[in-house]
A and B are shown apart, each in its own frame.
Chain A
Amino acid sequence: MPRVNYEAPTSVEDAVKILAGASGMAKVLSGGTDLLVQLRSGRIKPDLIVDTKRIPGLIGIREEGGFFVIGAASPGVMLSGHAGLEHAWPGIVEGADLIGSTQIQGRASLAGNLCNASPAADSVPAVIAARSTVVIAGPGGRREAPAEAICTGPGRTSLEKGEFIVEFKIPKPKPHQCDAYLRFIPRTEMDIAVVGCGTNVTLDAGGTCVDARVVLGAVAPTTVIVEDAAKALIGHKLDEATLAALDKAAQAACKPISDKRGTIEYRTKVAGVLARRTAAIAFERAAAR
């Protein structure tokens, strides 16, 4: 590995100062499960690593107002260990929990998964489907942005120099609202998603969908919010016709590539399958509330 500098600031302000003042490439280290792999393989050669885990609040989950506020560097194991969050948003927890092995779960964070900006990131679709926002600190102070605004393409984010994510704000579910996340991988663990799908639905008392968000991963340069898939669900119960329309809408939204993990044709078909399967789970969960 090439030589690099390391800083571990203990306040948001110091971190911003270090990041903004860095000459050369500075990378934020939260869980490090992507960063260290890229570092070792020589894919990136940063001059400075800024470890954010020593900043108070960057690790931890609190409930505040109508939100779960999740510290950006909180490891996956913390999310799956949080009973309130798991009950509220099982899909978000499932997505975060699917990132890598138990060992990876001890480190990998939501912010890292989002800012690594892979379209296949497992934690991202359900977070976006829940209409979450992220709080960003930077030289200009703090700003808030929808989670879907961060990743702009493979490996690219909308964060400016000196900016980093401090926390995620995830709204608490409304009555009869719930989510689900599924991904397809060739094995049962340890693969990158060939397709991922997060579905978040709100039902009325009779089981008809009144609001929905369907988000696909790994089928385009960024995650995709499939408006037509939501439309296929809203105003309907989960019958065969609805599922067929959902499947079609999900497939239509796919603009994947063929690569070592899947073909265009296969990814498109499986996107439809996962849209149906996540909808079925989310509907069942929402109806049970």
Chain B
Amino acid sequence: MSKHHVTTTINGEPMEYLCEAQQSMLDVLRDELGLTGSKEGCSSGDCGACTIICDGDIVCSCLMLGVEAEGRAITTIEGIADGDKLHPVQQKFLEHAALQCGFCTPGYIVAAKALLDQNLNPTEEEARYWLAGNLCRCTGYDKILRAVMDAAEVMRAEAGK
């Protein structure tokens, strides 16, 4: 079984790689491309630590095959900040101490960014359900939610809304 040649876009950059069909997108990111920011917590879509954005929608990269990325646009945690400028969600995670061990953090930041990309004014309940697929065992979720809501406020102000 020969490897598949995949041409895709990752974090805005054209990318080519070879992968075997059974390799998940997460395996490809971590083991082939050295993008270890996406984490494996369960490999069954239950923890969200491997969340990436694929063509605008968040997905668990453990539940996507590497070959499926052909022609798609992928964003990972490594592509959320704008150079040295942190995304408001990243900045607010720091300010609110919304991470303790930090292992689930990349998944949260990708998922929360996607939420705010489509809804700059989520209610607490909307945010809680949107992020229910991201497990955190350290924080009790309180500070994560505060960080996301505060980031939304910053982004609304930036957008003049």
**A→B interface (CB under 8 Å):** 1-6, 8, 29, 32-33, 36-37, 39-41, 49, 51, 53, 75, 77, 100-107, 188-190
Binds A, one of B17-25, B79-87, B95-103, B143-151: B17-25
Binds A, one of B7-15, B52-60, B152-160: B52-60
How long is the Cα–Cα vector from A4 to B2 in the complex, in angstroms? 10
Q: Are B4 and A6 in contact (CB under 8 A)?
A: yes
How long is the Cα–Cα vector from A83 to B43 in the complex, in angstroms? 33
How long is the Cα–Cα vector from A265 to B26 in the complex, in angstroms? 41
- Of chain A, the residue at the smallest CB distance from B46 is A190
Q: Are B58 and A102 in contact (CB under 8 A)?
A: yes
Q: Are B129 and A37 in contact (CB under 8 A)?
A: no
How long is the Cα–Cα vector from A243 to B48 in the complex, in angstroms? 40
Q: A40: which B residues are within 8 A, CB to CB?
A: 24, 43-44, 62
Besides A8-B70, A33-B60, A103-B111, 12 other A-B contacts (C-beta < 8 A): A3-B1, A3-B20, A3-B21, A4-B21, A8-B68, A40-B62, A41-B44, A49-B21, A49-B65, A102-B130, A103-B51, A106-B58
Q: Are A6 and B59 in contact (CB under 8 A)?
A: no
Q: Does B41 contact A (CB under 8 A)?
A: no
The size bracket of the interface on B is 20 to 34
Known interface pairs A33-B45, A189-B132, A190-B133. Does A104 touch B21 (Cβ–Cβ under 8 Å)?
A: no
- Of chain A, the residue at the smallest CB distance from B51 is A103
Q: Does B67 contact A (CB under 8 A)?
A: yes
Q: B48: which A residues are within 8 A, CB to CB?
A: 101, 103
* Most chain A CB inside 10 Å of its own CB: which residue of B23, B43, B45, B58: B45
How long is the Cα–Cα vector from A49 to B134 in the complex, in angstroms? 28
For residue A193, give the distance in angstroms from its CB to the closest CB of chain B: 15
Q: B24: which A residues are within 8 A, CB to CB?
A: 1, 36, 40
Q: Which of B108-143 contact A (CB under 8 A)?
A: 111, 114-115, 129-134
Q: Are A107 and B1 in contact (CB under 8 A)?
A: no
Q: Are A104 and B60 in contact (CB under 8 A)?
A: yes
Q: Are B4 and A37 in contact (CB under 8 A)?
A: no
For residue B135, give the distance in angstroms from its CB to the closest CB of chain A: 8
How long is the Cα–Cα vector from A2 to B21 in the complex, in angstroms? 10
How long is the Cα–Cα vector from A2 to B43 in the complex, in angstroms? 15
Q: B132: which A residues are within 8 A, CB to CB?
A: 101-102, 188-190
How long is the Cα–Cα vector from A8 to B129 in the complex, in angstroms? 33
Q: Are A102 and B111 in contact (CB under 8 A)?
A: yes
Q: Does B63 contact A (CB under 8 A)?
A: yes
- A-B contacts, 19 listed (Cβ < 8 Å): A3-B1, A6-B67, A8-B70, A29-B65, A32-B65, A33-B45, A33-B63, A36-B64, A39-B22, A40-B43, A40-B44, A41-B44, A51-B65, A100-B133, A103-B59, A103-B63, A105-B57, A189-B133, A190-B46
Q: Are A103 and B22 in contact (CB under 8 A)?
A: no
- Of chain B, the residue at the smallest CB distance from A104 is B45
- Of chain B, the residue at the smallest CB distance from A47 is B1
How long is the Cα–Cα vector from A5 to B60 in the complex, in angstroms? 22
How long is the Cα–Cα vector from A102 to B48 in the complex, in angstroms? 9
For residue A10, give the distance in angstroms from its CB to the closest CB of chain B: 12
